Structure 1
């Protein structure tokens, strides 16, 4: 984008310098001079053809610059869309990572609860076991009717 602007400025400066040159702005005057050699006379058709060629060259260069600018705009739009896609993917990945972390914490909590449950079950069995014979005296819960 900056390169395109620099090229446009350079082109404008070149065009203004060429148009400001004395041999392009005005025809040499022959007033007060006797023209002895006809080869020294100015050919208006040649000058107009030269100017027409320069104008067509400038138009071609402008067209090339415009095409390059349009290509740069398309590239800019593609990059902007890719950036939006990457940002959306990043947000999604962060959300997935957060949920994964919560699941890991829940898994760890479940493992801790299983350990507590096992230790409580062992404690109950130890309390209800007869110290002399080791028989389990834990009352059996009655089945629901």
Structure 2
């Protein structure tokens, strides 16, 4: 069982994340899917806590929030594997006290961080290729085939 404070913090983080995603002009929920299902692990990794927090026995309210999101995404047609057994029950969810601009700014920062990570990975890959090709250049210069 997780501490009450940690559970509350995780619920606030998740509620804020949902609000950020919904505040986007066209949120890409599919980034958080695995095998056509919403992935608690991908969400938890982004929010900085363990995916076990989404288990009903650890944090029933957080689990219910996730189930409600799945149901809502199914209603919107985003959730590819629609699960009819999902039932939407009312859960009292209080969002963090941020105004809409702060939420949109946070979403932009998160998108920029994600783009930055992708670009850093691409840069590392290209740097490795350049190093490899420079070795071939050295060999071609020694053979007199490179001017």
Same fold (TM over 0.5): no
- Give TM-score scaled by structure 1 length: 0.30
- Give TM-score scaled by structure 2 length: 0.30
- Larger Rg computed on CA atoms: 1
Greater relative contact order: 1 or 2 (C-alpha under 8 angstroms, separation 6 or more)? 2
